[in-house]
Structure 1
């Protein structure tokens, strides 16, 4: 009852803030829920162990994540009823892929409820059915978006957001494999294969953009934060294969090796981009700026860590790499989370101040988007 009361308080406060300030959040803001979910159930649980984590600390983090999910969902509904949904979330084909965070965020919430509050297993099952329907709608929209991108010659603007098709699909596998114990293996293989197909198509379009478009090679401005999903999508594919037992141990190891290679490649590019941005824009404008897409980095790091932790390689060399990632990765991820919370809090405070100034100048001005 205490945890339920805390959930209500957190949810009401967050919803009230969004409603009173008429804040329509960015399409991909549910990535915050994804990131906190994998940190809670994947990183912290595995590192500190179930005896430590399934107590008050784990449940409060779960409640906070569920409250965020509820408040973000409210903002999407508010945009719909105020006739802003199409403008904010649907109009641009590439941005439409951001709805995949809604599916993946809902999946992690269903898993959190099942793992942390087993007495509410029925709610977790209802969320699973709802999320499967949401995924079907999302995939239909993405198929149309792929066509719109091709027809509108928008391939020069594509980036890692396309890979949310893979992330959302594999999140469904993780959800149903957790909540429903007896899922036909053919169903898991079908979903995983579909996710891999989306990965191949999306990766092809992303690589093609950077190889054929000279302007895209300006790494400090044209490299998108979401490109880290290149390795995050592989990690969640491997994790889905592991949890559902849809792939052999050797098959999972092959996916892990691919994810590790892509992780190393992408993050080296990210470091190079960091250096370039520091030289071009300085510390404040080059790094210390908030964008919702930055949460995708937290999610992908957390997903790679979780996949690495749960994989158990037979080869001694890989076992040593795994141990090194587990022992050092936890602090890297926690540092990333703290940085994002700092940047996000500063951003929210700035929005609130801007809203207050607008009301003073024009009391009827109430629209904003995060």
Structure 2
């Protein structure tokens, strides 16, 4: 996927997804940040504008787009662009509602981008099922679900007259993509020729993240009964525990083999996917807990999770920003200094 002309990683939309979901939901759990929320929002908007400007410029490099589309797995990173724009739109609507018309136009453009991505997903799922052994799949293909459900979350605030049947169809398309993706991931990891250290990827956290955003879309659309929503939440919770337990074991192995810095504190853009999925799990749980229609025996469990999960989301976000900062402003300067000696 790399290109000699590359100026930005095509997965950089994940940065917008991670920062955006924090500003959209999680930050409200920290009263001490209330007076500086807009400061963070404007930084976020600057980062978003910069990333999408660079991605747009990159699209004019022929080999960049070809390198994405030629590999059926890598092509799914386009989903980060769509989900990022959806989250960006919701953040602007929350903090700067006077720009409603402008953001509505952005959502329309993003819808066109999603329709194109929809065709790419259908085509590349077909390719992957024909040649699954040629292309080792991982959680990135579930960005098909994330991007699709993010459209529902961006349509609801801007197009309130949208037919509920259309919302149902879009959510079902997202679930279809999830089913297709999970089967491919199961096929890949059911084989014996892979190792947890080398072949399990950061993006596999999207296994639960894609269902969290699906659940949030369903709750926001009021499509399922309380009992079914709570069963769905339990499924997400179980998958979260399973996937993140694997991640803990993987992290221990990486530290043991590579040391702390190379093992878990070396920057990779895919790490932002974890920030997004953790934030989305918080958003899904908070949405259920704050709605009186979903009160149940799980209410106590939700309270326990929400009481510390906001801090978890904040902590890993601060850590990720720190890793990024060191990678781009400290380690890179050291390399430059050595090269100049």
- 1:85-234 maps to which residues of 2 (within 5 A)? 85-154=64-133, 157-211=136-190, 213-216=191-194, 218-234=195-211
Equivalent-residue separation in structure 2 for 1:80 and 1:234 (angstroms): 30
Equivalent-residue separation in structure 2 for 1:351 and 1:145 (angstroms): 36
Aligned partner (choices 325, 332, 337) of residue 312 of structure 2: 332
Match status 1:299 vs 2:276: yes
Q: Given that residues 43 and 302 in structure 1 are in contact (C-alpha distance below 8 angstroms), is that contact kept between their aligned partners in structure 2? A: yes
Aligned partner (choices 310, 313, 319) of residue 299 of structure 2: 319
CA deviations 1:117-174 (Å, max 9, x no partner) are 1111001110110111010111111222223323444466100001000000000000
Partner of 1:93, secondary structure, is coil
CA deviations 1:90-125 (Å, max 9, x no partner) are 332211101100000000111111111111100111
CA deviations 1:270-302 (Å, max 9, x no partner) are 111111112222212211111111100000000
Partner of 2:25, secondary structure, is helix
- 1:44-123 maps to which residues of 2 (within 5 A)? 44-45=27-28, 47-48=29-30, 56-123=35-102
Which ranges in structure 1 are unaligned for 5 or more consecutive residues? 1-21, 362-370
Cα gap change, 1:134/1:356 in structure 2, threshold over 3 Å: closer, same or farther?
farther
Measured after TM superposition, the shift of residue 357 of structure 1 is 7.9
In structure 2, the residue matched to 1:39 is 22
- 1:238-317 maps to which residues of 2 (within 5 A)? 238-312=215-289, 313-316=294-297
Cα gap change, 1:72/1:91 in structure 2, threshold over 3 Å: closer, same or farther?
farther
RMSD between superposed Cα atoms in Å = 2.1
Partner of 2:193, secondary structure, is helix
Measured after TM superposition, the shift of residue 314 of structure 1 is 2.8
Q: Given that residues 6 and 64 in structure 2 are in contact (C-alpha distance below 8 angstroms), is that contact kept between their aligned partners in structure 1? A: no
Q: Given that residues 76 and 85 in structure 1 are in contact (C-alpha distance below 8 angstroms), is that contact kept between their aligned partners in structure 2? A: no
Equivalent-residue separation in structure 2 for 1:355 and 1:30 (angstroms): 27
Could you tell me the TM-score, scaled by structure 2's length?
Answer: 0.91
Q: Given that residues 155 and 205 in structure 1 are in contact (C-alpha distance below 8 angstroms), is that contact kept between their aligned partners in structure 2? A: no
Q: Larger deviation: 58-67 or 108-117?
A: 58-67
Cα gap change, 1:182/1:291 in structure 2, threshold over 3 Å: closer, same or farther?
same
Measured after TM superposition, the shift of residue 188 of structure 1 is 0.9
Partner of 2:152, secondary structure, is helix
Aligned length: 332
Equivalent-residue separation in structure 2 for 1:331 and 1:39 (angstroms): 11
Equivalent-residue separation in structure 1 for 2:313 and 2:209 (angstroms): 14
Q: Given that residues 160 and 229 in structure 1 are in contact (C-alpha distance below 8 angstroms), is that contact kept between their aligned partners in structure 2? A: yes
Equivalent-residue separation in structure 2 for 1:252 and 1:222 (angstroms): 33
Could you tell me the TM-score, scaled by structure 1's length?
Answer: 0.84
Q: Larger deviation: 56-65 or 188-197?
A: 56-65
